[in-house]
């Protein structure tokens, strides 16, 4: 009923934990009276070594807030297998025996049916302006249809974190019994063209098609995908994060850059061709080249530079000012400050600063 906790799952859980710790208070401060968390493939709630599964991680992210969340928070845990669902209920009963459940925390375990049969019912229970965060972490490649992603994203603040099982998808892409399933997964028939590509091109083709569909069909504004490679340098899976909110994108990047990558696994941002960025701090120098190419010979306000870094690169808003400082200090300087506040110190770039790139 339970199984070992593998390194790649541990990293996934750390990302989820860090993100939800930020998600709850941000939405609470935003004045939302209700928020919804959906775990589409919840599992038994515990691993062989006693580590928490994703349902308990999500609940503890809510319970561990330094300032209590006053909004009504609804957790939906979907687990098709009854035995796993029963074990999950036991885990939650133990949690709430040790830590009384707040009156505004509502928890439901949906068992006996799969994600596709349950998620729409769960969404109907909540108003359209209620923020929804959905974790889609299936067993095997058969995730959820793109139409479901569209339903989840079609909210005032809908976000999804998807474990996209690349190895399994790639293996079954040409299987004669699977066309209908892949039509649903991608929300189109274009995967057939990808299946005909040489192996060296197929990986990027599968990944990029799914990302494009999250934007064009599901309605996401921002999509980034993160590659998990094992010690043999093979891609185990991609994590796709889709959101309409720049602040959500910032917080997900913060979570990604904070993951401890020891243990033979490696996360990298693989959204942009030619920008394979490891989240270990070793690739910050790449950002200088990215900025130099994007703004070559042009002037830009720091707000525009920050928007570009956050929305169009793997890097965080905390990274670019250090890069600008190094570019300004170089001889000859790679940037010139054209406008700034009175009294600006060299190497600082407060709001209103405008720089010109060589």
Cα distance between the two ends of the chain:
61
* pLDDT computed for residue 293 by the predictor: 95
pLDDT > 90 fraction of the chain, expressed in percent and rounded? 67
The values of phi and psi at residue 75, to 5°, are -110, 125
* pLDDT computed for residue 266 by the predictor: 57
C-beta separation of 138 from 181 below 8 A: no
Cα gap 308→304, rounded to integer Å: 6
Q: Which helix (H) or strand (E) holds 5?
A: none
State mean pLDDT over 280-286: 70
Nearest of 46, 14, 56 to residue 267 by alpha carbon? 14
Q: DSSP readout, 23-43?
A: HHHHHHHTT-SEEEEEETT-T
Domain 7-278's class?
alpha beta
State mean pLDDT over 168-174: 89
Which tokens hold the place of 96? Answer: 């709430």
pLDDT, tens digit (0-9, with 9 covering 90-100), for 323-337: 999 999 999 999 999
Contacts of 306 (CB under 8 A, 6+ apart): 317, 320
**pTM of the full predicted structure?**
0.91
Q: How confident is the model at residue 53 (pLDDT cuts 50, 70, 90)?
A: very high
* pLDDT computed for residue 340 by the predictor: 86
Higher pLDDT, 351 or 270: 351
C-beta separation of 55 from 145 below 8 A: no
Q: How confident is the model at residue 3 (pLDDT cuts 50, 70, 90)?
A: confident
Strand residues in 203-353 grouped as ranges (E) = 222-229, 235-243, 266-269, 277-278, 299-301, 335-339
pLDDT, tens digit (0-9, with 9 covering 90-100), for 8-30: 788 889 999 999 999 999 999 98
Nearest of 225, 236, 149 to residue 187 by alpha carbon? 149
State mean pLDDT over 169-173: 90
Q: How confident is the model at residue 121 (pLDDT cuts 50, 70, 90)?
A: confident
Q: DSSP readout, 255-266?
A: HHHT----SS-E
Nearest of 96, 78, 92 to residue 36 by alpha carbon? 78
């Amino acid at each position: 009923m339970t199984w070992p906790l593998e390194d790649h799952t541990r990293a996934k859980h750390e990302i989820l934990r860090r993100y939800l710790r930020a998600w709850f208070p941000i939405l609470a401060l935003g004045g939302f009276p209700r928020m919804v968390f959906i775990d589409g493939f919840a599992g038994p709630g515990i691993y062989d070594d006693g580590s928490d599964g994703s349902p308990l991680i999500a609940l503890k992210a809510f319970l561990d807030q330094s300032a209590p969340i006053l909004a009504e928070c609804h957790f939906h845990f979907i687990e098709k297998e009854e035995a796993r669902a029963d074990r999950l209920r036991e885990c939650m009963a133990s949690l709430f025996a040790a830590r009384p459940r707040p009156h505004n925390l509502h928890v439901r375990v949906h068992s006996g049916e799969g994600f596709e049969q349950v998620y729409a019912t769960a969404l109907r229970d909540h108003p359209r302006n209620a923020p929804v965060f959905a974790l889609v972490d299936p067993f095997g490649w058969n995730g959820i249809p793109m139409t479901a992603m569209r339903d989840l994203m079609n909210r005032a603040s809908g976000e999804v974190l998807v474990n996209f099982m690349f190895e399994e998808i790639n293996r079954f892409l040409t299987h004669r019994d699977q066309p209908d399933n892949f039509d649903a997964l991608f929300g189109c028939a274009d995967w057939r063209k990808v299946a005909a590509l040489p192996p060296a091109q197929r990986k990027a083709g599968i990944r990029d098609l799914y990302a494009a569909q999250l934007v064009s069909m599901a309605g996401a504004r921002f999509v980034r995908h993160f590659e998990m490679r094992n010690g043999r340098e093979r891609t185990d899976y991609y994590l796709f994060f889709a959101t309409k909110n720049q602040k959500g994108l910032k917080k997900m990047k913060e979570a990604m850059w904070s993951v401890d990558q020891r243990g033979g696994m490696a996360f990298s941002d693989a959204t942009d061709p030619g920008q394979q960025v490891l989240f270990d701090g070793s690739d910050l120098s790449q950002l200088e080249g990215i900025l130099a190419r994007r703004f070559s010979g042009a002037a830009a306000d720091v707000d525009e530079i920050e928007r570009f870094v956050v929305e169009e690169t793997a890097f965080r808003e905390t990274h670019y000012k250090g890069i600008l400082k190094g570019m300004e200090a170089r001889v000859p300087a790679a940037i010139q400050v054209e406008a700034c506040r009175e009294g600006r110190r060299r190497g600082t770039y407060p709001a209103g600063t405008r720089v010109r790139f060589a």
